[in-house]
Structure 1
Amino acid sequence: MTQPFDSAAVTAAYTNALDVIRSVEPRVAGAITQELADQRSSLKLIASENYASPAVLLTMGNWFSDKYAEGTVGHRFYAGCQNVDTIEALAAEHARELFGAPYAYVQPHSGIDANLVAFWSVLAARIEAPALVEAGVKNVNDLNEDDWTTLRRAFGDQRLLGMSLDVGGHLTHGFRPNISGKMFTHASYGTDPETGLIDYDAVRAKAKEFKPLILMAGYSAYPRKVNFATMREIADEVGATLIVDMAHFAGLVAGKVFTGDFNPVPFAHITTTTTHKSLRGPRGGAVLAQPEFAEFVDKGCPMVLGGPLSHVMAAKAVAFAEARTPQFQTYAHNVADNAVALAEGLSKRGGTLVTGGTENHLVLLDVSSFGITGRQAESALVDSGIVTNRNSVPQDPNGAWYTSGIRLGTPALTARGFGRDEFDRTAELIVDVLTATSPVAASSGGVSKAKYDLPSDVAAKTRAAAAEILDANPLYPGLTLN
């Protein structure tokens, strides 16, 4: 399911590149080679990871890495950026067309950078501009110290309402230790304690009570769709700006799995995303915005960002181009179908799923019914060749470190060609491992939340079964390295 490629050409490219690297620092070349081997030999179910195409990966290793290019297309603070202008304009054009957005900004280095650009753009548009006008200042550089004091006070006590981290939100949506939780006075909305689903009436009531400047939507561990039309209605009712972080499910938006009320781009004032995860591009971020915010987002550098990573922007252009193909739409629909198959496979074997299932690319499995913590489950599965990550479940008694759940995602293995049968078999392997795993006594007494016992024969049997499925669905087929 990965983008088709010429295996001989790609093999030659990587073989030659590794030879060059090996001549300088062989340990780095060895780690690169080992990483490919490790990824090929494990069932990768981390919802935020994927496999980029060789074209995307190769695009990042080029001379654009040597360029400083602060500023925007046609307006750089360094000379000699005409080629950077070309690739940034291409990446933005592909992003606009892919998502149907009027404006796209492709410089953010990551998802948190994209969110920071969005946050400061809202502050600038909603607060800074009126404050400057009131102060009679046309240029921010003309502000004296008294003006800055006034402006800082104007920024004070701005409010952000986002999804609670413990029910599937993200740390950049107001989590106190994160910069988002320090920039804003923060409140959160949760989910229905019985169903695990967003209660939009409760969100509306919270918004009316809290009156946020920003209403944040999006998630990192919520296995359902979000009605963004309703979220925009709530934002409008309280005068809030709606920001949607679609980092996790951008591929499902691009692939036309999420349409209508479930596509955030027409409803959000600003939409942020990463470019890897379900989009299958390079590690990076992007911001989509409605016209009234475009001029503010366009100042992400120097407002929040430093020099853009031009080589990564080039790879974003390639990835966005790939995502505009019919093959990517097929892939995205398969990701969602496979998540349902995985959820059904776990459920019919006794697994307890948060919300009872999934409507997107991820499944959240409560492992407490197996008598273990999320950390024990994560470790036992890694021992067995299955890579997941532990994750909190709503009202988690084990907290965010040990957790009571694991998060499972289907984008990566779908890219390898897995279908419903393979994901059902994967669910069987997961349940077999978790059933065989048991906690052990803690040195301080009681039962450990981290240490566990997994019979070695179960781990070995699972690794062998995983290898059989993986061998039938090779990663980068035809790519061979010495």
Structure 2
Amino acid sequence: MTMLRSSESTIDRNPKTNTGEDASTALERICQQRHPHLQSQDPELYSLIIAQARHETDTLKMIPSENYASFAVLEATGSILTNKYCEGYPAARYYEGNEFMDQIEQLAIDRLKALFGAEHANVQPYSGSPANQAVTRALAPPGSKIMGMPVPAGGHLTHGWKVNFSGMDYQTVHYGPRPDTGLLDYDQIRDIARRERPRMIWVGATAYPRTLDYAAFAEIAQEVEAYLVADIAHINGLIVGGVHPNPVPHCDVVSSTCHKMLRGPRAGFILSRIEDRWQRKYFPDSNLNLAKRIDRAVFPGLQGGPHMHVIAAMAVAFKEAATPAFRDYARQVVANARRLAEKLLEKGYRLVSGGTDTHLLVMDFRDAPYSGKDVAQALAKAGIIANFNMVPGDPRKPFITSGVRLGTPALTTRGMKEPEMDRIAGWIDTVCRNLEQIEEVAPRVRAEIAELCRQFPPPGILI
């Protein structure tokens, strides 16, 4: 089974099973072939990998930030590049023997810049949070005022939330969707920025289902002389696929992970302009441009040697994302999310903002006697893996919540389309209407889901 059943797919085909061999037997046989050393040297860990592979094969992965990497990405991640230490940047290392590492990192940089049309790229951040910490340190000394969307409103931890470094080391100003509409009010955001005069403004979210207006944010940032930083960790694939605006022309810096919609390894990256438009205002005594400050914030500011096996896998993912098949994939992700939203609305469920423009949607149970956590746990028992999530104006605590966040990236990678979204909406409805009898209902739903999943084996899982 290929992604979208297309011969142009950038996701590899799964190995074919023997005639008459059931899925479980095939899974174990192929894993034994792929992991002979691990199986013999650490059977305990090997068995846990097998268990996770079975779980991901037989359930619906609907957490929006999860996906399936290709065989090529997994192979690069597990390559001998793990063995090399190369502190520094290409052509400026602190260790010898890095001529091939320089070429690999430069390949990833060049592909990433081309993918987003960026002037500068850094592919060394170990993940999204370190990338955001490097950006913040590069633009704003501790104690500076930063503005972002808080976690309860659907934002990121690293955009100024109180339990994170960004909320502990910086003055924070928050904005978020209106509780009544679930939509961002750009006039309200402008008023907050004018009043607070932050040094930098984050734009980006983990649970906002609508298109972000980067041009509007850029006007606000320009007016208050603030750096504008977009965090595209959750929507990078939509941007590459042309179904969401590209923030690069509007922002000073753009940060992201690589392992969500881009289907790469677990890593982060940073894009930026080379020159700093606010250098005279904020860094009058520095001779470093914006790109150099970003690089220095990553290394040596926060990290040591880069993970070259991961950077190689990033290069693979960037190549896969630069194909017509990936654009088809991104369009189908959005089409699937919209179809799922439409069917849930038809069944009487309330959704944050009334629907979606992106890869995710958030069910709103503020008026229900049960919580988002109740629903998420019941869905998991039935084979639908989602996460409970805060909604704008949520009266419940963060570990309980009134929402459930659902996404379509991983389902679309498996080749599912609108007909499958109709069936999934039906199963979600069955679970929600039978929460008190979930122990009796879940096995039947889970069996039906497992049967669907066998028709759409996840690429890259049998590795």
Common fold by TM > 0.5: yes
Q: Deviations over 1:196-238 (max 9, x none)?
A: 1100001001001000000110000011011001101100100
Fraction of identical pairs, as percent? 40
* Cα 1:397/1:456, change in 2 over 3 Å: same
Quote the residue 1:61 is aligned against: 78
Q: Is the 8 Å Cα contact of residues 161 and 215 (structure 1) preserved in structure 2?
A: yes
Question: Which of 169, 175, 187 is the equivalent residue of 1:189?
Answer: 175
Looking at structure 2, the residues matched to 391 and 373 of structure 1 have their Cα atoms a distance apart, in angstroms, of 10
Quote the residue 1:85 is aligned against: 102
| Alignment partner of 1:294 is 2:291 | yes
Return the TM-score normalized by structure 1.
Answer: 0.86
Q: CA deviation at 1:403?
A: 0.4
Q: CA deviation at 1:87?
A: 1.1
Quote the residue 1:130 is aligned against: none
Matched to 1:71, the amino acid is: G
Q: Is the 8 Å Cα contact of residues 156 and 205 (structure 2) preserved in structure 1?
A: yes
Looking at structure 2, the residues matched to 392 and 120 of structure 1 have their Cα atoms a distance apart, in angstroms, of 28
Q: Is the 8 Å Cα contact of residues 352 and 369 (structure 1) preserved in structure 2?
A: no
Q: Deviations over 1:142-166 (max 9, x none)?
A: xxxxxxxxxxxxx453100101222
Looking at structure 1, the residues matched to 353 and 450 of structure 2 have their Cα atoms a distance apart, in angstroms, of 31
Helix, strand or coil for the counterpart of 2:299? helix
* Cα 1:294/1:474, change in 2 over 3 Å: same
Question: Which of 128, 131, 134 is the equivalent residue of 1:114?
Answer: 131
Q: Is the 8 Å Cα contact of residues 393 and 403 (structure 1) preserved in structure 2?
A: yes
Matched to 1:298, the amino acid is: D
Helix, strand or coil for the counterpart of 1:277? coil
Which is greater in Rg?
1
Q: CA deviation at 1:273?
A: 0.3
Quote the residue 1:165 is aligned against: 151
Q: Is the 8 Å Cα contact of residues 370 and 435 (structure 1) preserved in structure 2?
A: no
Q: Is the 8 Å Cα contact of residues 368 and 404 (structure 1) preserved in structure 2?
A: yes
Looking at structure 2, the residues matched to 473 and 7 of structure 1 have their Cα atoms a distance apart, in angstroms, of 10
Quote the residue 1:367 is aligned against: 365
Matched ranges for 1:46-445 at <5 A: 46-123=63-140, 155=141, 157-258=143-244, 262-292=245-275, 293-299=290-296, 300-438=298-436
Q: Is the 8 Å Cα contact of residues 163 and 217 (structure 1) preserved in structure 2?
A: yes
Helix, strand or coil for the counterpart of 2:52? helix
Helix, strand or coil for the counterpart of 2:421? helix
Quote the residue 1:43 is aligned against: 60
Question: Which of 12, 17, 30 is the equivalent residue of 1:5?
Answer: 12
Looking at structure 1, the residues matched to 16 and 121 of structure 2 have their Cα atoms a distance apart, in angstroms, of 33
Matched to 1:408, the amino acid is: L
Matched to 2:388, the amino acid is: R
Matched to 2:270, the amino acid is: V
* Cα 1:121/1:61, change in 2 over 3 Å: same
Matched to 1:395, the amino acid is: G
Q: CA deviation at 1:455?
A: 3.6
Quote the residue 1:446 is aligned against: none
Looking at structure 2, the residues matched to 72 and 20 of structure 1 have their Cα atoms a distance apart, in angstroms, of 34
Greater than 2 Å deviation, 4+ residue runs: 2-17, 367-371, 454-457
Quote the residue 1:133 is aligned against: none
Looking at structure 1, the residues matched to 340 and 81 of structure 2 have their Cα atoms a distance apart, in angstroms, of 41
Quote the residue 1:448 is aligned against: none
Structure 1, unaligned runs of 5 or more: 124-154, 439-453
Q: Is the 8 Å Cα contact of residues 367 and 377 (structure 1) preserved in structure 2?
A: no
Looking at structure 1, the residues matched to 438 and 177 of structure 2 have their Cα atoms a distance apart, in angstroms, of 38
Matched to 1:474, the amino acid is: P
Matched to 1:5, the amino acid is: D
Q: Deviations over 1:19-59 (max 9, x none)?
A: 11112111112122221111000011001000001110111
Return the TM-score normalized by structure 2.
Answer: 0.90
Quote the residue 1:28 is aligned against: 45
Q: Deviations over 1:110-165 (max 9, x none)?
A: 11011011112213xxxxxxxxxxxxxxxxxxxxxxxxxxxxxxx45310010122
Bigger relative contact order (CA 8 A; separation at least 6): 2
Q: Is the 8 Å Cα contact of residues 85 and 305 (structure 2) preserved in structure 1?
A: yes
Q: Is the 8 Å Cα contact of residues 370 and 434 (structure 1) preserved in structure 2?
A: no
Quote the residue 1:475 is aligned against: 458
Q: CA deviation at 1:5?
A: 2.8
